[in-house]
A and B are shown apart, each in its own frame.
Chain A
């Protein structure tokens, strides 16, 4: 009875770690379930010869990140604040910023 608080806290921490382990198992299970979905999407990428994902449709240089040109707004300088929020989240592709 005297050690009720400590036992409770240890049990809570133990439960937390169990849930943490559970999250890893859940992730593995969800990954297996999602494989078919990703394969289906990958087939479309192959068939349509797509170069980019539909993450940001607001501007051409964020819709097609990999094909952005050097003169797109968000590439004025790294971390430039700009009109489109997604341009601040996504960085210019590395092959544009690398010296030729």
Chain B
């Protein structure tokens, strides 16, 4: 055992000396390799954490959302439709929701104005998300004014700022009273933005949705499962722009690594020839190269993964922010909770180590089985 370990240490020592002889080239390779792992790991960690957090946050989202569609677009839902829906068997509770978007020219930001079903603010008061509070510098007691549908000015006094902890769900919310909402948008009583329903037996949600679709063919029904699935696929690393951007980088690296690892220089060929001539066996040479591939790829994986962990969970993924923020003024200062998918990390480890190891060992094996005399010539 001791002899085996000493042999491995000697091989590693020799490998490192060989790597150090081409210091610049190998260091550049390690930096690029680590950067690729960093980008991939950042995307994986960020998207997985966000998806898990979305699943936890939205677990109590409405079971059924019913929207009226006119000409392919979402339209206001009349009270009469709600009465019809209440008769659908299995539906225990149904009511209209009032919500809409509001562009605030002062902050150049979009808000979501909403009327809470329970404990709505007093008339003339508003409960605001921390994003709005930050964008307008508004604290409880301050006043915010907006132009209503008819050009008049509506003033709201801030009753409460929703805590930062809930920012991912509430950052841009502007909660008001029903009367204030209708005055702001000029929506007549008896009209709602959409409706939400609860079903007695969760297994009958699909059936209830079918009945609603039959009763109101001009409606669109979104189930809670569909809401959850929407967020399962958001930032999916296998899909979307992120993959398009990363594919180019990964392919470029694959060509670079293959060229570096498999393109044996004349010097390397001579080295193999000499090693064989002084008594090294093919197995020893292969082991040496496996150490080389292993050290390089494991180092790249560890450096890339650890930097990605810091980037996503300690710094809040600032490199992704420009894309995620887009043209929006408000973006929740969101630091993802580290949910790590062991399977994804293991896949990343295997994809980092195995191809590089293969690219290092296979060409060497080809060179190492040739007669030393022929290699040295």
Contacts and interface: CB of A to CB of B under 8 A. Distances in A.
A19 B298 CA distance: 13
Residues of A contacting B: mostly: helix
Interface size band for A:
35 or more
A69 to B, nearest CB: 6
A91 interface: yes
Contacts of B302: 13, 16-17, 19-20
B236 A91 contact: yes
Contact of B323 (A44, A51, A89): A89
Interface in A36-80: 36-38, 40-58, 60, 62-63, 65-67, 69-71, 79
B60 A55 contact: no
A54 B129 contact: yes
Contact of A93 (B226, B313, B327): B226
B73 A49 contact: no
Contact of B306 (A20, A31, A36, A47): A20
Interface residues of B, number: 89
A17 B303 CA distance: 10
A94 B72 contact: no
B306 A16 contact: yes
Contact of B16 (A6, A84, A91): A6
B159 interface: no
Given A3-B13, A53-B54, A41 B226 contact: no
A51 B60 CA distance: 9
28 contacts: A10-B12, A16-B298, A20-B302, A27-B339, A36-B165, A38-B53, A40-B166, A41-B57, A42-B56, A49-B62, A50-B170, A51-B61, A51-B65, A53-B57, A53-B58, A53-B169, A54-B131, A54-B169, A54-B170, A54-B173, A65-B234, A69-B220, A79-B244, A85-B322, A89-B324, A91-B236, A94-B230, A95-B229
Interface of A: 2-3, 5-7, 9-10, 12-13, 16-17, 19-20, 23-24, 26-27, 30-31, 34, 36-38, 40-58, 60, 62-63, 65-67, 69-71, 79, 84-86, 88-91, 93-95
